[in-house]
Amino acid sequence: MKDNIVAVMAKWPEPGKVKTRLAKDIGNKRAASIYTDLLNSTIEKCLPESNDNYSLGIACEPPDKIDNFKSIYPDLTFYNAQQGNDLGERMYNACNTLFNSSRTNSVILVGADIPSLGREEIRQALSLLELESDVVLGPTDDGGYYLIGTKLPRTVLFENIEWSSDAVFADTVNIVTEAKLKLGILPVLFDIDTLEDLNNHEIISLKTND
């Protein structure tokens, strides 16, 4: 039987390296702490239960932190290094590595900073991929996406996109449409990138001291 694989695109939570837009308002250390909380929540809520038909692991950045991720999250199936010059390259390479490493039916990549992301969204994505969709996207409320799932490692899905813009989701939908692929879309979720996001959603108690 082929496997379904879910990879969390995760950065090591080093102050000054994560949540830089948020850090401008609350400081590097607090922003890194919030990112850590979000990553912990994502992994906990996305770990498969006994009746789920997927495995969960991490695609981590930077590569020299793989052992750190293994020690903190010892129950995951795999720990791969992200490779590439931009997010698109890193996401494609993450997909390609997973498709080449085993008899993989589908690969899903998810973000690490989506407070409400959990097993239900992953189950919905797998259901769409199994039924009819070639690609599944989970849009965020700021114009990006928190999840992309595919049955093949298609480079076209990750090219010619202005990452971190409010057009990422729309551009990807256009790419899927032009490639004549069947697209499934999940419910919109929110991510935490700015102080406004943090205040609007009140997910984490905000402390502005660095």
* 37 within 8 A of 30, measured Cβ to Cβ: no
Of all residues in the chain, the percent with pLDDT exceeding 90 is 85
Strands 145-150, 135-139: pairing is: antiparallel
End-to-end CA distance of the chain: 50
If one counts every other C-beta atom within 10 angstroms of the C-beta of residue 123, the result is: 16
* Residue 23 belongs to a domain: yes
pLDDT higher than 80, residue 22: yes
- For residue 92, give the 3-state DSSP assignment: helix
Task: Give the CATH number of the domain where residue 101 resides.
Answer: 3.90.550.10
Reading phi first (left if > 0) and then psi (alpha if -120 to 50, else beta), residue 110 is in beta
Please report the pLDDT score of residue 10 as a whole number. 97
The stretch 33-52 carries a mean pLDDT of 95
In a domain, 210, yes or no: no
Q: Determine the average pLDDT of the residues in 183-197.
A: 92
Its domain, for residue 44, covers 3-201
Span 109-136, average pLDDT: 96
The verdict on residue 206 lying in a domain is no
* Section 108-128 average pLDDT: 96
Q: How confident is the model at residue 116 (pLDDT cuts 50, 70, 90)?
A: very high
How confident is the model over 76-96, as pLDDT tens digits? Answer: 999 999 999 999 999 999 999
The 135-139 sheet, strands edge to edge:
79-81, 55-61, 3-11, 104-111, 145-150, 135-139, 183-185
122: Cα separation from own chain's centroid = 11
Q: Can you tell me the distance from the alpha carbon of 148 to that of 140, in angstroms, rounded to the nearest whole number?
A: 12
Contacts of 104 (CB under 8 A, 6+ apart): 2, 3, 4, 5, 98
Averaged pLDDT score across all residues of the chain: 92
Would 131 be classed as within a structural domain?
yes
Ranges of beta strands (E only) in the chain are 3-11, 55-61, 79-81, 104-111, 135-139, 145-150, 183-185
How would residue 200 be classed by pLDDT, with cut points 50, 70 and 90? confident
What value does the mean pLDDT take over residues 121-144? 96
**What pLDDT does 2 receive?**
56
Q: In total, how many domains does the chain have?
A: 1
pLDDT band at 180 (very low <50, low <70, confident <90, very high): very high
pLDDT number for residue 189: 95
Residue 17 lies in a domain: yes
Q: What Rg, from alpha-carbon coordinates, does the chain have?
A: 16
Tell me, yes or no, whether 16 lies in a domain.
Answer: yes
Which segment of 12-21, 74-83, 193-202 scores lowest on mean pLDDT?
A: 193-202
Check pLDDT > 90 for residue 133.
Answer: yes
Which amino acid, 125?
Answer: A
Residue 119: inside a domain: yes
Would residue 207 count as lying in a domain? no
